[in-house]
Chains A and B, each alone.
Chain A
Amino acid sequence: MNTHIIKKTQKNLILVFTLSLFIFSSTVFSQTTAKLTSTDEFGGKWGTKVKEAIEAMKLEGNIEDGAIIYEEICQACHQPGGNGDPGGNFPQLAGQHSTVIIKQIADIRIGNRDNPTMYPFANIEALRAATEDIFDEEKSGPQTLSDVSAFIQTLPMSSAIVGEGGDLEHGGKIYKENCVRCHGDHGQGDVKNYYPVIAGQNYHYLLRQFRWIKDGKRRNANPEMVKQIYGFSERDMLAVMDWVSRQTMIAGDWDSKK
Chain B
Amino acid sequence: MKLITRQSLLFFSAFIISGASTVFAADEATIQRGKQMYMSLTCFACHGQEGKGMVRKRDRKSKKTGNWKYRKGDPMPGFEAYPKLAGQNSKYLYTQMMDIFEGRRNNGMSAAMLGIKIMIDSTAKEGDLQAVADYLSQVSK
In the complex, which residue of chain B has the Cβ closest to the Cβ of A208?
B118
* Contact between B42 and A130, CB atoms less than 8 A apart: no
> Contact check: which of A87, A88, A130 meets B78 at CB < 8 Å?
A130
* Contact between B119 and A76, CB atoms less than 8 A apart: no
Q: Does B141 touch A at the CB level, under 8 Å?
A: no
In the complex, which residue of chain B has the Cβ closest to the Cβ of A79?
B42
Given contacts A87-B119, A120-B46, 10 further A-B contacts (CB under 8 A): A76-B45, A77-B42, A85-B122, A88-B122, A90-B42, A117-B115, A119-B112, A123-B78, A133-B56, A204-B118
* Contact between A85 and B112, CB atoms less than 8 A apart: no
> Contact check: which of B76, B109, B113, B121 meets A87 at CB < 8 Å?
B121
> Contact check: which of A88, A118, A130 meets B118 at CB < 8 Å?
A88
* Contact between A86 and B78, CB atoms less than 8 A apart: no
Q: Which residues of A contact B45 (CB under 8 A)?
A: 76-77
Give the tally of cross-chain contacts (CB within 8 A): 68
In the complex, which residue of chain A has the Cβ closest to the Cβ of B79?
A120
**A-B contact list, 27 entries, CB within 8 Å:** A76-B44, A77-B42, A77-B45, A87-B118, A87-B119, A87-B121, A89-B116, A89-B122, A90-B42, A115-B115, A116-B109, A116-B111, A116-B112, A116-B115, A117-B114, A117-B115, A118-B115, A120-B79, A121-B78, A125-B77, A126-B76, A126-B77, A126-B78, A126-B79, A129-B77, A130-B54, A130-B78
| Residue of B63, B77, B112 with most partner-chain A CB within 10 A | B77
**For the complex, what is the distance from the CA of A126 to the CA of B58, rounded to whole Å?**
16
Binding site for B on A (CB under 8 A): 76-77, 85-90, 115-121, 123, 125-126, 129-130, 132-133, 138, 204, 208
* Contact between B60 and A132, CB atoms less than 8 A apart: yes
Q: Does B91 touch A at the CB level, under 8 Å?
A: no
* Contact between B78 and A90, CB atoms less than 8 A apart: no
Q: Which residues of B contact A119 (CB under 8 A)?
A: 112
* Contact between A133 and B58, CB atoms less than 8 A apart: yes
* Contact between A130 and B122, CB atoms less than 8 A apart: no
Q: Does B57 touch A at the CB level, under 8 Å?
A: yes
In the complex, which residue of chain B has the Cβ closest to the Cβ of A117?
B115
Q: Does B89 touch A at the CB level, under 8 Å?
A: no
Binding site for A on B (CB under 8 A): 42, 44-46, 54, 56-58, 60, 63, 76-79, 82, 109, 111-119, 121-123
In the complex, which residue of chain A has the Cβ closest to the Cβ of B122?
A87
Q: Which residues of B contact A204 (CB under 8 A)?
A: 118
**For the complex, what is the distance from the CA of A205 to the CA of B101, rounded to whole Å?**
19
* Contact between A90 and B46, CB atoms less than 8 A apart: no
* Contact between B116 and A117, CB atoms less than 8 A apart: yes
Q: Which residues of B contact A87 (CB under 8 A)?
A: 118-119, 121-123
In the complex, which residue of chain A has the Cβ closest to the Cβ of B42?
A77
* Contact between A120 and B78, CB atoms less than 8 A apart: yes
**For the complex, what is the distance from the CA of A132 to the CA of B56, rounded to whole Å?**
9
> Contact check: which of B82, B117, B119 meets A85 at CB < 8 Å?
B119
8 closest A-B pairs by beta carbon, nearest first, are A126-B78, A117-B115, A87-B122, A76-B45, A116-B111, A89-B119, A89-B118, A129-B77
Q: Which residues of A contact B116 (CB under 8 A)?
A: 77, 89, 117
**For the complex, what is the distance from the CA of A8 to the CA of B103, rounded to whole Å?**
65
Q: Which residues of A contact B119 (CB under 8 A)?
A: 85, 87, 89-90
**For the complex, what is the distance from the CA of A150 to the CA of B48, rounded to whole Å?**
26
